[in-house]
Amino acid sequence: MMIALVTGAGSGIGAAIAQRLAADGHTVAVNDLSLEVAKTTVAQIHAAGGVAGAYAADVSDEAEVNAMVATITEDFGAPEILVNNAGFGHQAPFTEITPEMFDKIFAVHVRGNYLCTRACLPAMLAKGQGHIVNIASQLGQIGGVELTHYAGAKAAVIGMTKSLAREVSAKGVRVNAVAPGPINTPLVEALSEDWKTAKRAELPLGRFGSPAEVGGVVSFLVSDDAALFVGQTLGPNSGDVML
């Protein structure tokens, strides 16, 4: 079993991923912007008999990320699994997206991915073993109305996944992405009712997914059963994107 760091794991998809990895027997470092929120997920893991610790850090801040990874390494050991999940949603017509919001979206989703990977990758390479799973979105593949900044950031995550996979897979570190469709989380619930109603009607399954279903995909990608999966983007998306 391995040491796993899951960012943005205080709620929603991140919490479900952390809980699933803990249930699989991994030791999980639960990150969130709020320490108290991270502790909520840790308490749930402990209640289920798992091992976990809570760590607060803004993933877009280099100093905070480096300090967090250093502390995790002291507490449990260097992360051998990194799940870059931290993110947030924002919906607005393109002409109403402010430069500040555009920068914030990219800071969390793209810069955060880069900083956390940069902090964890050297130890994985030194060991010759590791797993990085980047949580993207199906919107990074097909785009979304009033979600240009968010979809653009998620497309960047997919591109980073493929590039890093080509660079480090031969060195024992497997890099993949998961691009969920709409999942029943606070992030999706924050979108307009009109958008959600229209989106459900587009889906072949006719429903949004659950966080636990995404957790199962991540569990697979870091398992030996996924040994041939490198640079892939798996899509638990209710049939919204078919590749």
The verdict on whether 150 is a catalytic residue reads yes
Q: Which amino acid, 163?
A: S
Q: Report CA torsion sign: 144, 7, 114, 180.
A: negative
Q: What is residue 113's DSSP assignment?
A: H
Place of tokens 């969130």: 32
DSSP state string for 153-211:
HHHHHHHHHHHHHHHHGGGTEEEEEE---SBSSHHHHTS-HHHHHHHHHH-TT-S-B-H
Q: Quick one: which of 33, 31, 53 has its CA closest to 42?
A: 53
Which of 55, 114, 150, 208 is labelled catalytic? 150
Residues forming the active site = 150
